[in-house]
């Protein structure tokens, strides 16, 4: 089980995740990483990463997985452009099969397509 961030770039995903016990406490949650910092520090070595770096960090759909230890539940935040199949794939990538997972839309996660005020 992992916490961290993810981006959907074309048909693939880029993630920055760590096991829950290696995550950082943030209020009542445990999380990892930041979208902007990940984008800024990534040195692309494959085509998916190069496509990602060709745009601003908030161009592609993105989200975050955090864990709330008191409630023993993960929250998967997502961009509304992601499909149910995408969300299922994120659960697999973060090892969340069989875990309690709340799926939550959050206005922080809006890509170029669904953010009407987006400008690159």
Three-state secondary structure call for residue 70? coil
Tokens of 15: 């993630």
**47-88, pLDDT tens digit by residue?**
999 999 999 999 999 999 999 999 999 999 999 999 999 999
Q: Can you tell me the mean pLDDT for 33-57? A: 95
Q: Other CB atoms closer than 10 Å to residue 116's CB: what's the count?
A: 6
Stated pTM of the model: 0.93
Which tokens go with 29?
């949650």
Model confidence at 116: pLDDT above 80: no
């Amino acid at each position: 089980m992992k916490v961290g961030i993810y981006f959907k770039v074309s048909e693939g995903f880029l993630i920055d995740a760590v096991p829950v016990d290696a995550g950082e406490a943030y209020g009542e949650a445990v999380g990892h990483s930041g979208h902007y910092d990940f984008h800024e520090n990534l040195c692309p070595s494959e085509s998916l990463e190069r496509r990602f770096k060709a745009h601003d960090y908030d161009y592609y759909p993105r989200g975050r997985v955090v864990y709330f230890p008191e409630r023993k539940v993960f929250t998967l935040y997502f961009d509304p452009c992601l499909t149910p199949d995408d969300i299922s794939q994120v659960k697999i990538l973060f090892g969340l099969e069989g875990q309690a997972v709340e799926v939550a839309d959050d206005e922080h996660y809006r890509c170029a397509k669904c953010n009407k005020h987006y400008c690159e």
